[in-house]
Amino acid sequence: MDEKSPISVAIIACNEEENLPGCLRSVAFACQIVLVDSGSTDRTQRIAADFGCDVFKEPWRGFGPQKQFAVDQCREDWILILDADERIPAETAGAIIKIVAGSHGAAAGYSFPRKNFFQERWIRHAGWWPDRVIRLFRKGRGRLTKATVHESITIDGPVELLDFPIEHRTEGRLGPILRKIDRYSTLGAKQAFSEGKRSTIWGAVLRAQFTFFQDYLFRGGFLDGRQGLTLAVTDAVNKFFKYAKLSELNRIDADGGREGHRPLR
């Protein structure tokens, strides 16, 4: 686009060379794109620089603090936060441009429904749609929570709900999914432990069972075919390991970190 809209887009990334080009093309209407890289070993930084992004290298702080660092580098009056595997469809881009150009109403932020695609299928059940997320806000009116995982944006002022979606092309390969489960369950266990929560291995099993039946049967995951089944299983596995790791942290804490126990990494 020749004419840019006064928006800063904030993206955090690490080894996202496959996802990043599509993400950047979808926000070509923005005056500024900030990309904060936490140690990529692939072409992520080069792709961002070639596209004209403002690239910052920053050690990993956790999802909330890392995204807040990206927001702090934004200079335009409006800020849009995206993940590297997300896209802004043309109709959504048009709506964003009109909002920014008019600056109408008293809204300090805007939420979007998110269309999640898994293995090329739009997932519409088990809580995956409309999956509303706040992503657009006036500079100085939005802030990321400090959570290291499952962060959110708090808005100082009213939030307006838009009907225009953001598209999310979630990882569909099982190998990377399992590695992501290991990472996220560790982060979730550490956060729960810091909040004083407790678990047992049997509690972890029961939570995993409940999660599977809730996702697949009660919330209609079976209507999303084999993709829905896969997601219900992986969600249950993630839940099991999060609370199993929490029970491990509880045991280590009770034993005073004696020999034979190692902290989660």
Q: Is the pLDDT of residue 127 over 80?
A: yes
Does one domain contain both 136 and 32?
yes
Does one domain contain both 163 and 191?
no
pLDDT digits (tens, 9 = 90+) for 143-176: 999 988 889 999 999 999 999 999 999 999 999 9
Residue 55, domain member (yes or no) = yes
| Mean pLDDT computed over 72-96 | 97
Does one domain contain both 163 and 198?
no
Residue 225, domain member (yes or no) = yes
Does one domain contain both 137 and 208?
no
Residue 202, domain member (yes or no) = yes
Nearest partner of 59 among 42, 31, 37, judged by Cα: 37
Residue 249, domain member (yes or no) = yes
Q: Is the pLDDT of residue 105 over 70?
A: no
Helical residues (DSSP H) of the chain, grouped into ranges: 20-26, 44-51, 63-72, 90-102, 174-194, 201-213, 225-254
pLDDT digits (tens, 9 = 90+) for 177-235: 999 999 999 999 999 999 999 999 999 999 999 999 999 999 999 999 999 999 999 99
Q: Are 88 and 27 in contact (CB under 8 A)?
A: yes
> Over the chain, what is the mean pLDDT?
94
Nearest partner of 247 among 205, 208, 204, 218, judged by Cα: 204
Q: Which amino acid is at 107?
A: A
Asked which of 136, 169, 202 is the last residue of a domain, the reply is 169
pLDDT digits (tens, 9 = 90+) for 228-251: 999 999 999 999 999 999 999 999
Residue carrying structure tokens 């005056």: 31
Residue 16, domain member (yes or no) = yes
pTM attached to this predicted model: 0.89
Paired residues of 169 in beta bridges: 117
Alpha carbons 130 and 123: distance in angstroms, whole number = 10
Alpha carbons 219 and 197: distance in angstroms, whole number = 27
pLDDT at 259: 44
Does one domain contain both 29 and 95?
yes
Q: Which of 37-51, 80-94, 180-194, 251-265 is predicted least confidently?
A: 251-265
The tokens for 24 are: 């950047």
Does one domain contain both 152 and 181?
no
Does one domain contain both 223 and 103?
no
The tokens for 117 are: 């695609």
pLDDT at 106: 75
pLDDT at 147: 85
Total domains in the chain come to 2
The tokens for 33 are: 């794109």
Range of 111's domain?
Answer: 5-169
pLDDT digits (tens, 9 = 90+) for 16-44: 999 999 999 999 999 999 999 999 999 99
Residue 77 vs residue 103, higher pLDDT: 77
CATH number at residue 82: 3.90.550.10
Residue 112, domain member (yes or no) = yes
Q: Is the pLDDT of residue 264 over 90?
A: no
Does one domain contain both 45 and 108?
yes
Q: Is 176 exposed, middle or buried (0-12, 13-18, 19+ CB in 10 A)?
A: exposed
Alpha carbons 200 and 205: distance in angstroms, whole number = 9
Determine what percent of the chain is predicted with pLDDT higher than 90.
Answer: 91
Q: Are 144 and 233 in contact (CB under 8 A)?
A: no
Q: pLDDT-based confidence at 262, cuts 50/70/90?
A: low
